Structure 1
Amino acid sequence: MQFVSILALRQQHLQPGAFGRSDIYIVCRLRPLSFELNPCEKEIKACQWMNLEELHNHKDITPITKRITTLALHGLHNGFDTVDITKERFKSVYKGLEYYLYHRNIGNL
């Protein structure tokens, strides 16, 4: 997969089952380099490609997945520049190193 952008980011604190830790969930927009799936059998029970409209309208969809698919469908129909969080590369203060700043693109400032 090739990274394209961050579509959404969720953070939450003090949730039951989180072992007293904060939780960060990042949804990235990726470009597949192939459509072959190779899930780790120790970590993933099932894995499949799914039509975005089908997922969006699935009877068992969670509220967060419903919202994320709404954002993705909006991007597909109206351009992802309206929803994407993009990355900008900067040179680090440490010689020879770089880092990325992720933000909404607001043009050339």
Structure 2
Amino acid sequence: MFLPIRRLVAVVPLVLLPLGAVAACGGEGTTTDCSIDACTVTFDRGVNANASILGVKAELVGVQGDNVTLRVAGQQITVPVDGRQEVEGLSVQVQSVTQDQVVVRISQGGG
């Protein structure tokens, strides 16, 4: 009688784990849209914009023309609009830059 309850108690946290990972994204000066293995982050320009996503911190450092400088997992990288760069097992792609915002997709496993 107690065995099924113990199994249920052991299984429920594992089932809910992906939901916690999805919900655990957000930051300052940003909006995020996350799935289990990727997040699209919209950084507001002109503020100290950062987000905690996929277990790392991503920060907008600056924009120079079509090049966006970010700090992802403690490493500073520069990625052109529509370009992609790998850092710490993550793929960082700059999707768009406007006067007010920078949209970046960060995904696990280089995808």
Normalising by structure 1, report the TM-score: 0.25
Normalising by structure 2, report the TM-score: 0.25
Which has the larger strand fraction?
2
Q: Name which structure has the greater RCO, CA cutoff 8 Å, separation 6+.
A: 1
